[in-house]
Amino acid sequence: MAKSQLNESKKLKKKLKKERKYTVENIKKDFRRNYSIYLILAPIIIYYILFNYAPMYGAVIAFKDYTPAKGILGSPWAGMKYFIQFFSSEYFWQTFRNTFIISIYSIIFCFPAPIILALLLNEVRCSWFKRSVQTLSYLPHFISMVVICGLIRIFVASNGLISQIGSFFGIPPTNLLMRKECFRAIYIISGLWQGIGWDSIIYLAALAGVDRELYDAAVVDGAGRFKQTLHITIPGIMPTIAVLAILRMGGILSANGEKVILLYNSLNRETADVIGSFTYRKGLVEQNYSYSSAVGLLLSVINFIFITATNKLSKKVGYNLW
């Protein structure tokens, strides 16, 4: 019986599809019935055209000699000039290397930390203690990037708190942001601090979803808490970890340019400058619009490839992003 029902519904669907052919008459009919929906959708479509698709078209200035006087359309074509200029400059390797290294370090250090925190929190039986730790660990997430970078600047200055702690261990106090070998550590550690609590939320939710009966069965089998974690908890949240890891790989070249802009200076630029901060400096500070657009376009294309590939991969793991 179920089968015949299924068949029937399939037929119905086919019929519906036939009816919904985009003939002029159908469109007219649909428009009469749903005109108000199209009316409210229109501003949203206009928004997308203006603020998402027009800039995509505007990216053609990467291939032009853009001058504000002549505009996007009127500027003369320059071909690949700005791409070649970027590839042959020292900034190409510098920015790509920095972006890549910062992202890789972030994945190595900032990705597992929230998982570990979630596992540790999961072992806490006392609920008010768990809640307080969670609330306090969310705090850095709500502080603005400007304040965070301001705090970093104050704390790593030669008379700042972190330098003082360092000098307690015999490290001479210097401004760590003035030393280029320290920048990545500052970026990663502060990133860890910003994200560890907030990013653990999703894992805690996954942990709450692990079947309680499995634990009972494990206890009957004589498994201690460590064994339970190893054989039940971790496999239980593995799908979540896998999906988030894959999605994280997708953003591998989208290191946070905003944070770099707030933290870098002429002394640490060699290790700090990422593509995001470079396009900002070239474009909006030095007003080299075409050059900056070329770099930005390159980044967009690479990111697009990465994100599409990783989404395909995450679908294979059984998770549909959209």
Partner 1 sequence: MIRRSKGEKIFSVFNALILIFVAFVCAYPMYYVICASFSDPSELMAHSGFLFKPLKWNLGGYEIVLKNKEIYSGYMNTIIYVVGAAIVTVFATLVGGFALSRKNLLWKNVFMFGMVFTMYFGGGLIPTYLIVQSLGLVGSRWSMIILGAVSTYNMIIMRTTIYGIPDSIEEAAIIDGAGPMKQLFVIIMPLCKPTLAVIALFTIFGKWNDWFNPMIYLKERSQYPLQTFLRELLITNDMSNGASEEVLRDNANLSLNKYVIQYCTIVVSTLPILLVYPFLQKYFVSGIMVGAVKG
Q: Which CA distances in Å does 86 have to 40, 57, 63? A: 44, 21, 13
Residues 237-256 within binding reach of partner 1 (CB under 8 A): none
x/- letters, 102..141, toward partner 1 (CB under 8 A): ---------------x--xx-xx----x--xx-xxxxxx-
Residues 158-187 within binding reach of partner 1 (CB under 8 A): 159, 161, 164-165, 168
Q: Which residue lies nearer to partner 1 by CB, 102 or 196?
A: 196
The residue from 74, 112, 224, 235 that contacts partner 1 (CB under 8 A) is 224
Counting every residue, how long is the chain?
322
Residues 36-95 within binding reach of partner 1 (CB under 8 A): 36-38, 40-41, 43-45, 47-48, 50-59, 61, 66, 71-72
CB 245, CB 93: distance < 8 Å:
no
Instruction: Tell me the window of 6-14, 84-92, 150-158, 178-186 that interacts with partner 1 (CB under 8 A).
Output: 150-158
- Residue from 175, 134, 168, 130 nearest 154 by CA: 175
How many C-alpha atoms does 183 have within 13 Å on its Cβ side?
A: 24
Amino acid identity for residue 267 in this structure: L
Least CB distance from residue 104 to partner 1, whole Å? 22
Least CB distance from residue 307 to partner 1, whole Å? 5
CB 277, CB 261: distance < 8 Å:
yes
- Residue from 278, 267, 255, 262 nearest 182 by CA: 267
Instruction: Tell me the window of 6-14, 94-102, 103-111, 297-305 that interacts with partner 1 (CB under 8 A).
Output: 297-305
Residues 90-109 within binding reach of partner 1 (CB under 8 A): none
In 65-111 the beta strands, taken as DSSP E runs, fall at none
